[in-house]
C-alpha cells in the first residue's frame, strides 16, 4: 500500500528574491518526500511555511496577522508544524518564538535549506545543525550568518514557466540608512559563475525560455567574472531567448553594463534603477552615494546607447528631513526622466537601521499627500508612454493565459517588460499571420501590433 506523503504549504511575502527562496524551500522539501498543496488546501497541510518580508512595517504586520490566525488551527491540529522563514524571521529572531509560541521553527534567508528540520526529514540525519545546538524542546532556530549560501546548489521547484529566477548573489553591503536588507540577508556574497551557467543551461533543457538574474545589487557582482562578463556568458546559452536582471544600484552602473544592454542579443532593453529621491540632500542622508546629476548622467548614457530602453524606479516619500523643496525636486525628477513605471512607498522606519533614529519625519499626512502627488504624476507619464506604442510592432514572449480574465486570452511581455494581452480573435488570425498553433504557446515569441494602450497593460493583435 502506498504511504501517504506528508504535505506542505508555503505563503510568500516580499520581493522576487523571496519568491525564489520559496521555490528553493519547496525544492528541498520535495527532495525529502513532501508534497506541496495549493492555496485551497493550506489548512490541511502537515507543515505551513511563511516566507516573510520586513521591508516596510505594513508587510510585517500583514504576516503577523496571518500568523495569528494559525493559533486556533494549531490547537485543533496539534500535529501541524509551523515554520517562519525569510526577513522577519531573521530580524525578530527568538522574539518571534516568544510572541508566537505555536511556531515550531524559524530560519533566516541564509538558512532556508534547514527549515524542514522541524519535520524530522531525511536531510536532517547527518546534519550537525539539526540536532543539538539549534533545537530546544522540539523548536528549531536557524539564524546564523551563512556565507556558504552562495555556493550551495539547492534544488528549486519553479512555478513560473517559461520564466525562471536565478540567484547570482546574496546579501547587501550598502547600508542605505532606511533599509533592513543588510541586516536580514547579511553580507554580500557572489555565487561562482560556473554554477550559475550550469543552472541556466539546465533551465533551457527543461523548457524555460527567460531567466532573470537576481541580487540586491547585481552591478557589484564579482567572482571569476564581473557582471557584464557574466551576462555575456549567459547570452550564449542555447535555448534561452531572454535575459533580465534585478536590481541595479545607480552608483555601480558601469559603462560595461550600459554597453551590454545595448549590445547583447538576449539581454532585454529594460533596467530597474532605484532613484529613491530627486534631492541630493535626501540622497546623502539615505547614504545612496550618488547625486541626482550622476543619476541623470547614467540615464542619458543608457538612452543614448539603447534608444527605447525602458527604465523603472523606486521612490520613497516622506523620508526624515524631507522638506517641500526636496519633494518638489523628486516631482521634477519624475517629469524630467519620464520613467516607464515607478514603485513608490511612504517611508517606514525599520528597527536597527540608521534612519530609525532620525527624528525629523514629516507628518504622516504630509507623506501621504506627497506619495499621492508622485503616483498621480507618474500615472499620466506611464499612460502617455504606453500610448506612444500604439500602432507599433512588439516582440512578445507568451507567458500564459491573461490572468485578469482567464479563458482563451493570452498574456505576454515585450522586451521592455510591458504586459501585452491578446484575445482569441487575434489567435484566430494566426493562420493568416502564417503561424501554427504550436507557435502560440507559453515560451514562444510572437510579433504583435499594439492596438490599445492602458496604464498597466497593452492590447495586442497578431
Ligand atoms: N536592493 C534594491 C532595493 C531593495 S528594497 C536597491 O537598492 O535598489 C526595494 C525598495 O523598497 C527600495 O528600492 C526602496 O525604495 C524601498 N524601501 C526599502 N526600505 C524602505 C523603508 N524603510 N521604507 C520605505 N520604502 C523602503
Ligand atoms: Fe537596501 Fe540599499 Fe542594499 Fe538596496 S542597496 S538592499 S536599498 S541597503
Ligand atoms: Fe522583503 Fe527581505 Fe525582499 S525584507 S523585499 S523579502 S530582501
Domains and CATH numbers, the chain: 7-149 (3.40.50.12160), 160-268 (3.30.750.210), 300-388 (3.30.750.200), 393-461 (2.40.50)
Residue 199 has pLDDT above 70, yes or no: yes
Residue 226 has pLDDT above 60, yes or no: yes
Ligand 3 atom closest to residue 18's alpha carbon, by position in its atom list: 6
Residue 313 has pLDDT above 70, yes or no: yes
Residue 252 burial by Cβ neighbours in a 10 Å radius (0-12, 13-18, 19+):
middle
Residue 425 has a pLDDT of 59
Ligand located closest to 218 CA:
1
DSSP 8-state code for residue 40: G
Residue 194 has a pLDDT of 96
What CA–CA distance (Å, rounded) separates 441 from 70? 40
Ligand 1 atom closest to residue 178's alpha carbon, by position in its atom list: 22
Residue 153 has a pLDDT of 84
What CA–CA distance (Å, rounded) separates 228 from 234? 10
Average pLDDT, the chain: 92
Average pLDDT in the 311-336 region? 98
What band does 22 get if pLDDT is binned at 50, 70 and 90? very high
Residue 327 has a pLDDT of 98
Residue 121 has pLDDT above 80, yes or no: no
Residue 429 has a pLDDT of 55
3-class DSSP state of 97: helix
Residue nearest to ligand 3 atom 3, measured at CA: 15
Ligand located closest to 286 CA:
2
Average pLDDT in the 293-302 region? 98
Ligand 1 atom closest to residue 350's alpha carbon, by position in its atom list: 22
Residue 245 has a pLDDT of 98
Residue 283 has pLDDT above 70, yes or no: yes
Higher-pLDDT residue of 3, 374: 374
In this prediction, what percent of the chain has a pLDDT beyond 90?
82
Residue 169 has a pLDDT of 96
Q: How far is the CA of 179 from the centre of ligand 1 (A)?
A: 6
Q: How far is the CA of 362 from the centre of ligand 1 (A)?
A: 18
Residue 431 has a pLDDT of 56
Closest CA to 211 of 238, 184, 243: 243
426-443 residue pLDDT tens: 455 555 556 666 677 889
Neighbouring CB atoms inside 10 A of 276's CB total 23
What string of DSSP letters covers 358-386? ---PPPHHHHHHHHHHHHHHHHHHHHHHH
Residue 400 has a pLDDT of 86
- Cell numbers describing residue 79: 500535529
pTM as predicted: 0.94
- Pocket lining for ligand 1, CB < 6 angstroms: 55-56, 178-179, 181, 216-217, 247, 249, 274, 276, 314, 316, 345, 347-348, 350
Higher-pLDDT residue of 283, 138: 283
What CA–CA distance (Å, rounded) separates 64 from 50? 10
In this prediction, what percent of the chain has a pLDDT beyond 70?
91
3-class DSSP state of 324: helix
Where on the phi/psi map is residue 137: left (φ > 0), alpha (ψ -120 to 50), or beta? left
| Tally of residues, the chain | 462
Which residues sit opposite 400 in a β-bridge? 411
Nearest 5°: the CA angle 353, 359, 361 is 95
Average pLDDT in the 261-288 region? 98
Select from 175, 181, 345 the residue to mutate for testing ligand 1; criterion: most ligand atoms less than 8 Å from CB. Answer: 345
Q: How far is the CA of 268 from the centre of ligand 1 (A)?
A: 23
Amino acid at each position: 500500500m502506498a504511504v501517504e506523503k506528508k504535505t506542505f504549504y508555503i505563503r510568500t511575502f516580499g520581493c522576487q528574491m523571496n519568491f525564489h527562496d520559496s521555490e528553493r524551500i519547496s525544492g528541498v522539501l520535495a527532495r525529502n518526500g513532501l508534497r506541496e498543496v495549493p492555496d485551497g488546501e493550506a489548512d490541511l497541510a502537515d507543515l505551513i511555511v511563511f516566507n516573510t518580508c520586513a521591508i516596510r512595517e505594513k508587510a510585517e504586520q500583514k504576516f503577523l496577522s496571518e500568523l495569528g490566525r494559525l493559533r486556533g488551527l494549531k490547537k485543533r491540529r496539534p500535529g501541524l508544524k509551523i515554520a517562519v522563514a525569510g526577513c522577519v524571521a531573521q530580524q525578530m529572531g527568538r522574539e518571534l518564538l516568544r510572541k508566537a509560541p505555536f511556531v515550531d521553527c524559524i530560519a533566516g534567508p541564509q538558512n532556508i535549506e534547514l527549515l524542514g528540520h522541524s519535520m524530522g526529514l531525511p536531510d536532517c540525519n547527518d546534519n550537525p545543525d539539526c540536532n543539538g545546538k539549534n533545537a530546544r524542546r522540539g523548536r528549531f532556530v536557524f539564524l546564523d550568518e551563512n556565507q556558504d549560501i552562495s555556493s550551495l546548489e539547492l534544488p528549486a521547484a519553479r512555478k513560473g514557466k517559461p520564466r525562471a529566477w536565478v540567484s547570482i548573489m546574496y546579501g547587501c553591503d550598502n547600508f542605505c540608512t532606511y533599509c533592513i536588507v543588510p541586516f536580514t540577508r547579511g553580507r554580500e556574497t557572489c555565487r561562482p559563475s560556473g554554477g550559475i551557467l550550469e543552472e541556466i543551461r539546465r533551465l533551457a533543457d527543461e523548457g524555460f525560455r527567460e531567466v532573470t538574474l537576481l541580487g540586491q545589487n547585481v552591478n557589484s557582482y564579482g567572482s571569476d567574472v564581473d557582471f557584464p562578463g557574466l551576462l555575456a556568458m549567459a547570452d550564449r546559452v542555447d535555448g534561452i531567448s531572454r535575459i533580465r536582471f534585478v536590481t541595479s544600484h545607480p552608483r555601480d552602473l558601469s559603462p560595461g553594463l550600459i554597453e551590454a544592454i545595448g549590445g547583447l542579443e538576449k539581454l532585454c532593453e529594460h533596467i530597474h534603477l532605484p532613484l529613491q529621491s530627486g534631492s541630493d540632500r535626501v540622497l546623502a542622508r539615505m547614504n545612496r552615494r550618488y547625486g541626482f546629476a550622476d543619476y541623470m548622467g547614467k540615464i542619458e548614457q543608457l538612452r543614448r546607447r539603447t534608444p527605447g530602453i525602458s527604465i523603472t524606479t523606486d521612490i520613497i516619500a516622506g523620508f526624515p528631513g524631507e522638506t517641500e523643496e526636496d519633494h518638489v525636486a523628486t516631482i521634477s525628477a519624475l517629469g524630467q526622466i519620464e520613467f516607464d513605471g515607478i514603485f513608490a512607498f511612504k517611508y517606514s522606519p525599520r528597527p536597527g537601521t540608521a534612519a530609525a533614529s532620525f527624528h525629523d519625519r514629516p507628518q504622516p499626512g504630509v507623506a501621504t499627500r506627497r506619495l499621492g502627488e508622485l503616483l498621480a504624476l507618474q500615472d499620466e507619464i506611464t499612460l502617455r508612454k504606453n500610448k506612444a506604442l500604439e500602432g507599433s510592432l512588439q516582440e512578445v514572449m507568451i507567458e500564459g493565459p491573461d490572468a485578469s480574465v482567464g479563458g482563451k486570452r493570452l498574456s505576454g511581455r515585450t522586451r521592455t517588460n510591458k504586459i501585452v494581452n491578446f484575445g482569441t480573435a487575434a489567435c484566430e488570425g494566426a493562420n493568416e499571420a502564417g503561424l501554427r498553433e504550436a507557435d502560440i504557446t507559453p515560451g514562444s515569441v510572437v510579433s504583435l501590433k499594439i492596438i490599445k494602450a492602458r496604464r498597466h497593460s497593452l492590447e495586442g493583435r497578431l
